[in-house]
Amino acid sequence: MTTITGNTYPVKDAIKVLGGRWNSVAKGWDVPDDKAEQVRALVAAAGPSTYTPRARSRYRGRRQFEGEGRSEHYQNRRGRCEDAPCCGCCS
């Protein structure tokens, strides 16, 4: 078995047909040695990956607006205010 890595997602179904099995430890496809050149050609034809991960939001809790001036503060998952110094909203 030969492990093939790279931009394999667009051609994963073709790799399965050729006898490939996903190897999660190596993050690649294990294919029979006699089919390795075919799979390499498929992966090369797929081109580079166009995937770009999205930026994760900094805020994982709730944003709230408090008081007369409607000042914004951030409350995390535990319900604690993360403004510094504390605005008194969680006391």
| Residue 2: pLDDT over 70 | yes
Distance CA 20, CA 41 (A): 14
Query: In this structure, what DSSP letter does residue 6 have?
Result: S
* Section 38-64 average pLDDT: 76
CA–CA gap between residue 88 and residue 73 (Å, rounded): 10
What does the radius of gyration of the chain's CA atoms come to, in whole angstroms? 25
- Domain boundaries defined on the chain: 6-46
Question: 72-84, pLDDT tens digit by residue?
Answer: 656 666 666 665 5
